[in-house]
Amino acid sequence: MPFLTTLKAGIVGAAVLLPLAAQAQDYPKRDIMHIMPWSAGGGTDTVMRSFLNFAEAPLGVGINTQNITGAQSGVGTMRLMRARPDGHTIGSLTWDSVITVPQFDLVPGYDTANLAYIGSVTVHPTALVVRTDSPWTTLEEFVAAAKGAPGTLTISNVGTGGVWHLPALDFADAAGIDVRHVPYPDGSGPQREALLNGETDAASLSVSAAFPAIQSGDLRVLGVMAEARSADVPDVPTFKEAGYDVVWGSFRLLAAPAGTADSEIATLAAAFEQVFANAEFQELAAKTAMGPQWMGPAETTAYVARSQQRAFGLIDSLIEQGLLEQ
């Protein structure tokens, strides 16, 4: 897609992050508060903290993260919506923030029209992950085990009806298996630890959330729900390759409260886009499998609208089939 700018190592070399004060002399005036609606230590928390650390230099101020969890990111995002639109409060959003929470009315008064999108940071596919000491090395083996013991195997997610639950439902439907879905609504950190501790058999989540444990050899990816293999785990097949037409993914975005001045949104977007040209950030992105991908304010707004339209249709279909409760 032409409006997407993906990271490619070395495209800029040792780019230097320069302050943007000359572009907006009176903004920002002080440190910026960043609301993280997921738990500390999870995939989204880790990725966005790292990204925003690089953005402090071009903005010339600090960016302080506060974790406000609950309602599958809805509590923190609602706090963002209600913040003063002066450009000094921003927040991270995920698929759940703009799709699950409004679709299932998890937070009263929640309306994504109260958000001003700044840009995207990552776009990445869903993965099915197991412990390396599990008996399954392929999706086919996992499916065979599930068919042999219906209703026994467990797949974790970060909330019923959420970004990782729906792909697991779709996969189970496509594979004709009966599994139990276990929610960890505080985020992928607790979800990953539950898998490592043996509380669940598998996890539906992003590669980046599981990447440290994948690198250490504690977790194994059975498949990715993408059109093509992931560069982060190139030896792992797609679900399509295994015979399941299941393609799902998520994203991490940055937003401000609606009503934030266009000039301030533009200053923030320019700083964030500048991070993508930094060689040190590129190296970190490659090491952590964060799936970096930049879109500006207008492109991100359009992307969210398309994602909502597609996802709401899929959710309605799952509800009609009795695979998901409204």
How far apart, in whole angstroms, are the C-alpha atoms of residue 260 and residue 205?
Answer: 32
Query: Please, are residues 74 and 294 in contact by the beta-carbon 8 Å criterion?
Result: no
How far apart, in whole angstroms, are the C-alpha atoms of residue 260 and residue 301?
Answer: 15
Asked whether residue 4 carries a pLDDT value surpassing 70, the answer given is no
Q: Which CATH architecture has domain 124-248?
A: 3-Layer(aba) Sandwich (3.40)
Which amino acid appears at position 33 of this protein? M
Segments making up each domain of the chain, as ranges: 5-123+250-315, 124-248
E strand segments, 184-280: 202-206, 219-224, 249-257
pLDDT tens digits, 161-215: 888 998 999 999 999 999 999 999 888 889 999 999 999 999 999 888 899 899 9
Q: Residue 276's closest CA among 252, 300, 251, 294?
A: 294
Write the CATH number of the domain with boundaries 5-123+250-315.
Answer: 3.40.190.150
pLDDT tens digits, 115-162: 999 999 998 899 999 999 999 999 999 999 999 999 999 999 988 888
